[in-house]
Chains A and B, each alone.
Chain A
C-alpha cells in the first residue's frame, strides 16, 4: 500500500508533464497536417483528396484573403494594447495603493471579477456600452436628449477599441491577483519604507524599490495575457470588429468551412498567430529593457518625485473605473436575465420576468450538466496530479517552484490556444469522432491544471513539516500523514484551488468548441452561439448561470472548511 502510493507520488510529475506536453506537441505538429499530408497519413488514401492544399498555395490564399492585413493588425493592437494597459493599471494601482485601506477594498472588489467567464463579461459589457445599452438608457433622454439610440460605432469598431477595453476589464483582475501573490516575496513593505526614508514619494519609492523585484515574477502571467488576447474568439465575437474580424475568428471560420481545402489556410493563420505571439513577446521584452534603462537613468538622476497626488489619484481611479465597469456589466446581465419588455430609453424594464430561468430549464439542463461534469472532473484530476507533484517535490527535498517546471506549466497558457488546439482538432477529426466529452476534458485539463498548481504550490510548501514529524513519531506512515494530517489541514487552499479549476473550466470556449465537435454543449459554447442572435434576455440567462457556477464554487470553498471542521482553528497557512 505504502509502496504503491510512493510510486504514484514519484510518477505524478511525469504524468503531469505528459498530460500537459503531449497534446501541445501533437497539436503543434498537427497544424501543418492540412498541407496535403493528411490524405496519405491518417485517412490512408480513403479520403476524397480534398483535405487541404500545399503550403505554398495556402500561403498565397492567406495573403490574398480580403482584409487579412486589417485582421492581423486588429489582433496585434488589441492584444498588445490590452496587455500593456492592464499591466500598467495593475502596477500603478499597487504602487499608489499598497498598504492603504482603499487598496484592500479594491483587492476585495476586483477578485470576484476573475471568476467571471470571458464570454459573460463580454456580453455584459456589450449590454452596457452599446448605443442602445444601459449607459445610454440611464442618461437618456434627460441628459442626452435622445429618444432613440444614437448611430454610434461603439461596439465592433474596426480599430478594436471595444475589444481592447473588454480584454483590459478581464485581465486586470488576473494580473492583480498574480501581483498580490508575488508581492510577499519582494519584501515590499520594508523596501517602500526604505525608499520613503530616502526622500522618495510614495509611488516613486515603490517604483524604485519594489518594481524591479516584482516584474520578473510577472513575466509568465503577462505572456499568458498576451497569448489569450491574440487568440480570443469568445470575447471577439461579442466586442470585436466584423469587417473583417480578428485573425483568430477568421482562423475558426476557415477551419469550419465546408470547403475542406480551406483548412490549409486556417493552418497558415494558426502559424501566423504563433509567430505573432512570439513577435509580441519579443516586443514586450524590448519594452521591458527600455523601461529598465529609463529606470536606471531615473535612479541615477535621483529624482524623488514627492508631489504625486495627481498621479496617485489617476493610478487608483483608473483601475477603480475598470472594476466598476466590470461590476456594472454583471449587473446589466442580471437585469436583462429577468427583464420583460424594455424599450429605449427606459432606464429599467417596464416589467420583470423571473420565470424565464424556469421556462428555459429543460434546455439549460444539458449544457449545465456538461459544464458541471467537465468542471468537477477536470478539477479533480488536476488536483490529484498537483498534489502528487507537490508531495513529490517536498519528499525529494526539491526547492519551491523549480523554474523549468514553471515554464512547462505555463506552456499551454503562453501559446496561442487557437494554434495548438487547431492542430489537436485536425488530428482528432482525422482519427474519427472520438468520445467528445473525454477529448474536451483533456483539452480543458491543459488550462485547469496550471492554474490549480499555481494556486496550491505556495500553501503546500508553506505547510509546517513538523506536524508531519509529530505524526510519524506517533507511528503514522507517509500516506497516513498525508491523508489524516496534511490534507485536512490544507482543506481551505485545496478547495480554493478546486474552485479556481471550476472557474477556469467553466469559462473555456475554444477547447470545448473545437474538440467537442459541436456535440459537447456547455454554458459557454451556448452563450457564444447565442452571441450572434443578440437575444439579450436568453443570452443573459446563460451568462448569469455561467457566472453563478464559479461563484458558487468559490462560496463553497470559503464556507465548507468551517462547516466540515468545526472547532479547528486555522493552523494552515492561507
Chain B
C-alpha cells in the first residue's frame, strides 16, 4: 500500500482545493475557456486536461464496479495528471436531476458533473434539452478499436447516439441459477410463472425504478406484448394501456407467488444476488453476463452458478459516457473516457474476477496481442461461451422506461 497515505492526504486536502477553485471561479465571473475546446485536437485536449479534477458520476451500488473506477482513476492520475472523483450515486436520475437544476438556475459553465455513466431515458432527457457537450467521441484515439456502426452502439434505446456519448460497456439481461439446485431453469416468462406455482417464494426481482427492476419490466414488456412494433414508438403515440395489459395481468399472477409474496422487493441487483447467495431465492436477474463468473471468482457464489437467458432472447443494451454541457472539466473528462475505452481498461473490465462486463471493442480491430486478453476470459468458470446465450433483443423507445416504472408504482407500491 505505498499510496495509502497520499490518498488519505488527498481526501482531506483536495476538498479544500476544490472549494478554493470554485470560489475563485465564481469570483472571476466564470471562466468559460472550454468553448474554444476542439474535440478533434487531441494533443491540445491532453494538454488542457492536465491538473483537472473530473467528477465522474456513476452508479455506486456495486463494490466491484467502484473498485474498478478507483483503479481507472489512479491510472489517469499517473499517466495524464487527471484527478478522478467518483461521485457514487444511487440512481443515474439523481445526477440528471442535478444537471437539469443547474441549467434551470442559469449555471451553464460551472456544473458539478463532468462525466456521467448513462444510457436510455437519462441520455434522451439531456440530449432533448441540448444539455450535453458534443459531438466529441469520434476523435477519441481509442475509438479506432470500436465499430461505431454496430446496432447497439449506433442507437441508445432507439435514439441516435451521434457521437454525443462514448460507448463503455455492453450488457444483456441474464438470469442466474445454481445448476446443482435447479438444473433446468424456466426459459420463458410463462415457464417462470409455472415454475413459481410449483416453487412459491423462490423468485423475486429488484424493485423498479431501480436500474435492474426497470430492465426486468422492459424484458416482460418485450416478451409478453403482442405488438412489438408499438415499442419502437414513443408511449404517447400508441395505446399504451392495450400494449401493456398482458404485462400487468402476468405480474398480478406472479407477485403472490414471489419472495415475500411480492410485498417487499430487493432494492438492487446486488441485493437480489445477496438473496440468491443466501439461498432465499433460486433465480436472480442481472445485466452482466459475467455476473456468475465474478461471484464464483470472488467466492460469494457457489461454483455451480451459471447464467442463462430466455430461449427467445433477452433485452440488451450498451451503456455510455457523456459530458454535460456545463462541465468545467471537459478535457479531463475526455481523457478519462478515452482511457476507459483503451484495450487494457476494457480487458480489465471484461475480466469476471474484476467486473465481468462485455467490452464494446471490436475484436477484428484489435491486434493479436490485444485480443489475447479477451480470449483468455472466455474459459473462466461461469462465463457463458460464444452462442450460449439467446439473442439480444432491442430496447423499447426510452419513453417506455418511465411509463412502466410509474405504472408499476401505481399498481404494486400503493400500500394495498
Contact = CB atoms under 8 A, between A and B. Distances in A.
B203 to A, nearest CB: 11
Given A366-B11, A532-B268, A361 B93 contact: no
Interface in B252-274: 259-261, 263-268, 270-271, 274
Contact of B98 (A71, A358, A518): A518
B11 A344 contact: no
A488 B22 CA distance: 40
Most chain-B Cβ atoms within 10 A of its Cβ — which of A372, A435, A526?
Answer: A435
Contacts of B270: 532-535
Q: Interface size class for chain A?
A: 35 or more
A362 B4 contact: yes
A341 B296 CA distance: 11
Nearest to B258: A151
Contact of A366 (B10, B60, B63, B414): B10
A532 B210 CA distance: 10
A340 B274 CA distance: 14
Contacts of B279: 132, 148-149, 343-344
Most chain-B Cβ atoms within 10 A of its Cβ — which of A47, A149, A436, A531?
Answer: A47
B280 A434 contact: no
A260 B104 contact: yes
Given A429-B101, A433-B111, A43 B106 contact: yes
B98 to A, nearest CB: 6
A21 to B, nearest CB: 25
B94 A256 contact: yes
Interface string A425-465: 00001111111111000000000000000000000000000
Nearest to A366: B11
Interface stretch (A153-161, A197-205, A218-226, A396-404): A153-161
A258 B131 CA distance: 13
Interface in B222-276: 259-261, 263-268, 270-271, 274-275
Nearest to B406: A66
Contacts of B107: 432-433
Interface stretch (A239-247, A307-315, A497-505): A239-247
A518 B70 contact: no
Contacts of A157: 263-264
A520 B412 CA distance: 34
Nearest to A520: B15
B67 interface: yes
A536 B409 CA distance: 27
A347 interface: no
B207 A42 contact: no
A517 B98 CA distance: 8
Nearest to B13: A369
Contacts of B63: 530, 533, 535, 538
A78 to B, nearest CB: 14
Contacts of A44: 106
Interface stretch (B83-91, B306-314, B363-371): B83-91
A141 interface: no
Contacts, number: 226
Given A153-B263, A244-B413, A435-B23, A430 B15 contact: no
Contacts of B201: 151
B61 A149 contact: no
B414 A519 contact: no
A67 interface: yes
A367 interface: yes
Contacts of A369: 8, 10-12, 15
A433 B112 contact: yes
Contacts of B97: 256-258, 260
Q: Interface size class for chain B?
A: 35 or more
B415 A529 contact: no
Given A153-B264, A242-B264, A341-B299, A519 B87 contact: yes
B410 to A, nearest CB: 4
Interface string A203-235: 000000000000000000000000000000000
Contacts of B19: 435-438
Contacts of B105: 38, 42-43, 46-47, 429-432
Given A66-B409, A373-B12, A362 B94 contact: no
A258 B405 CA distance: 14
B113 to A, nearest CB: 9
A433 B110 contact: yes
Interface in A248-267: 256-258, 260, 263
A187 interface: no
B265 A242 contact: yes
A10 to B, nearest CB: 31
Interface string B1-19: 1011001101110011011
A343 to B, nearest CB: 7
A435 B268 contact: no
Contacts of B91: 256
B1 to A, nearest CB: 6
A106 to B, nearest CB: 34
Nearest to A39: B104
A112 interface: no
Interface string B389-416: 0000000000000000000011111111
A370 B12 CA distance: 6
Nearest to A148: B279
A168 interface: no
Contact of B274 (A367, A429, A434, A536): A536
Contact of A432 (B89, B102, B409): B102
A472 interface: no
A368 interface: yes
B324 to A, nearest CB: 12
A362 B11 CA distance: 10
Contacts of B57: 518
A227 to B, nearest CB: 23
B110 A243 contact: no
A535 B274 contact: yes
A347 to B, nearest CB: 14
A454 B151 CA distance: 64
B122 interface: yes
B224 to A, nearest CB: 22
Interface string A83-104: 0000000000000000000000
B263 A67 contact: no
A244 B104 contact: no
A363 B207 CA distance: 28
A260 B131 CA distance: 14
A131 interface: yes
Interface in A362-380: 362-363, 365-370, 372-373
A538 B67 CA distance: 11
A377 to B, nearest CB: 11
Interface in B96-126: 96-98, 100-107, 110-112, 122, 125
Contacts of B23: 435
B102 A526 contact: no
Given A365-B4, A536-B274, A519 B88 contact: no
Contacts of A361: 1, 4
B278 interface: yes
B413 A258 contact: no
A435 B27 CA distance: 12
Nearest 9 pairs of A and B residues by beta carbon: A70-B415, A369-B11, A534-B271, A67-B414, A46-B106, A47-B104, A366-B11, A151-B201, A67-B415
Given A437-B19, A532-B268, A538-B63, 18 more contacts: A43-B105, A47-B106, A67-B413, A151-B260, A158-B415, A242-B267, A243-B414, A258-B96, A263-B101, A429-B102, A430-B105, A436-B18, A518-B87, A518-B98, A530-B60, A532-B271, A534-B271, A535-B62
8 contacts: A43-B104, A149-B278, A151-B260, A256-B94, A258-B97, A258-B122, A430-B101, A526-B60
Interface of A: 38-39, 42-44, 46-48, 50-51, 66-67, 69-71, 73, 131-132, 148-149, 151, 153, 155-158, 241-244, 256-258, 260, 263, 340-341, 343-344, 358, 361-363, 365-370, 372-373, 429-438, 517-521, 526, 529-536, 538
